[in-house]
Amino acid sequence: MRAPLLGLALLLLLLVLKPPSCCGQNTNGGLQDGPHLGFTQTVYHATVYENSAARTYANSKSKMGILLTQRSWEIRYRITSGDDEGFFKAEEYVLGDFCFLRIRTKVTIAESTPLRTSIAQVTATDADIGSNGEFYYFFKDKIELFAVHPSSGMVTLSGKLNVDEQNRTRQFGINCTNGIVYVAGQLDREFVSAFNLKIEARDKAEKGDQRFSVITLKIILEDVNDCPPLFIPNVYKARALEDIPVGTVVAWLETQDPDLGLGGQVRYSLANDYNGWFEVDSASGAIRLTKELDYETQQFYNLSVTAKDKGRPVSLLSVTFVEVEVVDVNENLYAPYFSQFALTGLVKENTRIGTTFLQVIANDDDTGRDGEIQYSIHDGSGLGRFAIDEETDL
């Protein structure tokens, strides 16, 4: 059951374009000096249903508009208040000596609209009779993605709603008989969010010049949550010193999601956190350390991170990986030590200079450069007669 739209009051402004006077006509008087010009009523009551098709005209039991007492005047209607969202448009339609006021809705469609879907219908009238009164519809300019029926004026979708640079075929078509405009090609709001179609209605006069009228149809694409978050870059690599304090940020995540509203809002989470060693801020994407690192225990952490948008009814997600490398810090906690307190070496008195006769061994429990040992003769008798290689301990 269709429910009418309630409680909306539109304030309209009447614009009159008066041609310049000539041939000695008096120009001192204003509109008040000439014939009466005004709406037939101070208030009109019209209805439009909440689920009506785009470009639907509001229905009124009364005749809306003004009586043309001066045919030389051009009348324009404009909505000045009451339509903050821009749902409606005021149009003028002259028939004989009366300028009708017509209120219609704008055309808004979802970018996921199926092909051949009718999205709007344009209408035209011709007071002529016979073939002169018959007319057809067509797009004045080449339009992609939509089509209009030449007879009925119905606008329909005629292509997939996903624009590709190499496949930008006709986007719209029109039925030349009934004026139905339909989607004829791909649409993507993230690429093009609105279209302005110029539609021409031309009569079929067999003699003389064909007469025509042109109308502009504005089509606005509504967003559909069709883009998952995109990580920039695809994979992250980070390095962290083993002595950084808990709470330090080791990596920042960044994503792009061109969808609007909730579909463009991204939240982050960790699929694995190594028993609580890391955490990620769901809003900012900052990955922080929650426990102390130890290079001697583990040198690498491979984190799986999920980015998920808040689209409804379906949310989309992406997954990336963050590799955290733990960098060793020179802690130098332990002193070198010899495995034996004292060593004894024997050498003959006629041994040639440079002969190796003893090897000493020391140990250091530190890692990296802290665990590297250099040897030297510190004290004792016979200084200057013996030497030790500082690297090889010989």
C-alpha–C-alpha distance, residues 133 and 241, integer Å: 84
Per-residue model confidence (pLDDT) at position 124: 61
pLDDT at 32: 47
Residues 6+ apart with CB under 8 A from 376: 388, 390
**Residue 387 Cα distances to 344, 347, 348, 374, 394, angstroms:** 15, 14, 16, 13, 8
CA dist., res. 265 & res. 281, Å (int):
14
| Cα 388 versus chain centre, distance | 71
For residue 181, the model assigns a pLDDT of: 75
Question: Using one digit for the tens of pLDDT, what is the confidence trace for 80-139?
Answer: 777 666 667 777 777 777 777 776 656 666 666 676 666 666 666 655 556 555 655 656
**Sheet of strand 286-289: strand arrangement:** 249-252, 286-289, 278-280
In this prediction, residue 291 carries a pLDDT of 93
Q: How far apart are CA 365 and CA 123, in angstroms?
A: 90
CA distance 170 to 159: 7
Judge contact between 37 and 31, C-beta under 8 A: yes
Q: In a 10 Å sphere around its CB, with 0-12 CB exposed, 13-18 middle and 19+ buried, how is residue 3 labelled?
A: exposed
User: What distance in Å separates the CA atoms of residue 352 and residue 65, rounded to the nearest whole number?
Assistant: 125
Looking at residue 21, its pLDDT comes to 45
Per-residue confidence of the chain (394 residues) as pLDDT tens digits?
Answer: 444 444 445 555 555 555 544 433 443 444 445 556 778 787 877 766 554 555 566 666 777 788 887 777 778 877 777 766 666 777 777 777 777 777 665 666 666 667 666 666 666 665 555 655 565 565 666 555 566 666 666 666 655 544 333 333 367 777 777 777 777 777 777 777 777 777 777 766 667 677 777 777 777 777 788 889 999 999 999 999 999 999 999 999 999 998 888 888 999 999 887 888 999 999 999 999 999 998 888 999 999 999 999 988 889 999 999 999 999 887 666 778 777 777 777 877 777 887 777 787 888 777 766 777 777 777 777 666 777 777 665 5
pTM greater than the 0.95 cutoff: no
- In the numeric block, which tokens belong to residue 150? 């030449």
Domains in the chain: ranges and CATH = 1-105 (no CATH), 108-224 (2.60.40.60), 230-327 (2.60.40.60), 332-394 (no CATH)
- For the chain, give me the number of helices (H) and strands (E)? 0, 25
pLDDT score, position 240: 94
- Whole-angstrom Cα distance, residue 280 to residue 129? 74
Element (H, E) at 322: strand 317-327
CA 324 – CA 307 distance, rounded (Å)? 18
**pLDDT at res. 168:** 36
